Amino acid sequence: MSVKSLLVVIPCLNEEKTIATVISAIPNTINGIDRIDVLVVDDGSTDASVKEVEKAGAYYVSHPRNKGVGAAFRTGLNYARVHDYDFMLNMDGDGQFNPHDIPELLAPVLSGEADMTTASRFKDKKLHPKMPAIKKWGNYRISSLVSVLTGQKFYDVSCGFRAYSKDIIRTLSLLGNFTYTHEAILQTVFNGFSIVEVPLEIRGEREFGKSRVASNLWRYAKQTSSIIGSTIISHRPFTAFAFIALFFGIIGVSLGIFFIYHRFTTGAFEPHIWAGFSSAYFVGLAVISLLFGQAAFMFTRHHKITKNEMNLLVDTILQQHQKKE
C-alpha cells in the first residue's frame, strides 16, 4: 500500500510575529494522509522569520532577495514536484488562514471530487470577512472576469489558501512573480482539471503589517492584468487574437461605412479620403491578428501534444522503477 504524502507550502516575507504560530497549528494527522511536511519559502525576509521557522521545526528554502509571492509559490511547487508529493497545500504565514481548516479544504481533493480546491471568502454570505469596500469590489470584479474567461462561476479567485492533487502539481507551469492566484486557476481550468471552492471563515486583514500584494490597488490591477493576459494568450491564443481582431475590425468597418456614406451623399472622396485608407489599414490589422491567432493555436496544440507525450514517458519510467523496488 502506497504512502500518501502532503506538502504544506508557506510563502513567507517578514512574518516573524506569526510564522511559528501558523506552523505549530498545522495538523499532525489527517485522514487519508500518511506523511505531512511543512515547507516555508522565505522570500528574502530581513527579519527573524527564518529563525522562527527553525524553532518551529519546519523545512525552509530561502530566496537571496525578494522575488514576489508568485515566485515563492513556484519554488514550493517545484519542491513538491521534485520530491514526488501526492498532494500540496499552500497558505500564507500571516495568520489570516486557520490551519485547522486544512482537512476540510483538502477533503475534495483526497476524495477525487476535485483536482484543486480554493478557500472562498465570498461564496457563503455568512462568512464574508471584514475588509475595505474597495478591496471587496476589486475581488468581485476580478472574480467576475475569471468566471467569464473560464466559463465557470467563481466567487473568490484571489485567496491564497488552496490544495492540489498530484496531477496539478505536475502540470502547473506558472510564470508570474507578483502573484500566482489567478494564473493557477486559469491554467487549471484551461488544462481540463476541476476546481471546487470551499467556503471558509477567513480574516479579511492581516494582524500585523500590510498586504505585500494588494497594498497598492493600481499596481495590483496592472500586474494581475498582465498575468491574466499572458495566460490567456499562452493557453487560448486564438480567442485572445480574435478579440484583438474584433477590436480592429469594428474600427475598420466603422470608418469604411463612414467613408462610403460620405461618398454617396456628397459624390466626392474629399475631404475624408483618410477614412478609406484608415478603414483598409484596420481591416488589414484584423486579418493579420486572426492569422497570428491561428498560427499561435497550432503552436500551442503541438506543445500540448509534446508535453502529454513527455508526461506519459515519465509515468512509464516511474511505474517501471516502482515495480523494480
Q: What CATH code is carried by the domain that includes residue 23?
A: 3.90.550.10
Q: Check whether residue 228 and residue 242 sit in a common domain.
A: no
pLDDT band at 303 (very low <50, low <70, confident <90, very high): low
Q: Give the count of beta carbons closer than 10 Å to the beta carbon of residue 183.
A: 24
Q: Are residues 200 and 291 both part of a single domain?
A: no
Percent of the chain residues topping a pLDDT of 90: 58
Q: 226 and 296 share a domain? A: no
pLDDT higher than 80, residue 91: yes
Cell numbers at 86, concatenated:
501526492
Q: Are residues 294 and 168 in the same domain?
A: no
Total domains, the chain: 2
Confidence of residue 138 (pLDDT cuts 50, 70, 90): confident
Domain range for residue 75? 5-234
Domain-ending residue, one of 187, 203, 234: 234
Give the domain-ending residue among 194, 218, 234.
234
In this prediction, residues 22-39 reach a mean pLDDT of: 96
For residues 113-151, b (16+ Cβ closer than 10 Å) or e, as one string? ebbbbbbbbbbeeeeeeebeeebbebbeebbebbeebbe
Rounded to 5 degrees, φ, ψ at 202 are: -130, 145
Are 225 and 103 found together in one domain? Answer: yes
Mean pLDDT in residue range 253-269: 90
Residue ranges in 68-216 assigned as alpha helix (H) = 69-82, 102-111, 133-150, 166-171, 181-190
User: pLDDT per residue over 240-253, tens digit each?
Assistant: 778 888 999 999 99
- Residue 28's pLDDT is 94
Q: Specify the pTM.
A: 0.74
| Residue 322 confidence (pLDDT) | 47
For residue 188, which of 209, 204, 164, 211 has the smallest C-alpha distance? 164
192: cell is 481540463
The pLDDT of residue 240: 76
- Residue 1, Cβ density class (10 Å: 0-12 exposed, 13-18 middle, ≥19 buried): exposed
Query: Do 227 and 247 sit in the same domain of this protein?
Result: no
> For residue range 155-213, what is the model confidence (pLDDT) as tens digits?
999 999 999 999 999 989 888 888 899 999 999 998 899 999 999 999 866 666 566 55
C-alpha cell at 96: 489570516
Task: Please check the confidence at residue 324 and state whether its pLDDT lies above 60.
Answer: no
Provide mean pLDDT across the span 85-112.
96
Q: What is the pLDDT of residue 38?
A: 97
Q: Is 52 in the same domain as 99?
A: yes
Q: How far apart are CA 181 and CA 142, in angstroms?
A: 11
Same domain as 249, residue 168: no
Task: Select from 212, 234, 256 the last residue of a domain.
Answer: 234
Rounded Cα distance, 195 and 181, in Å: 13
35 and 124 both lie in a single domain:
yes
Q: Are residues 162 and 215 in the same domain?
A: yes
Q: Are residues 48 and 17 in the same domain?
A: yes
Percent of the chain exceeding pLDDT 70 equals 82
Q: Are residues 180 and 318 in the same domain?
A: no
pLDDT in tens, 45-69: 999 999 999 999 999 999 999 999 9
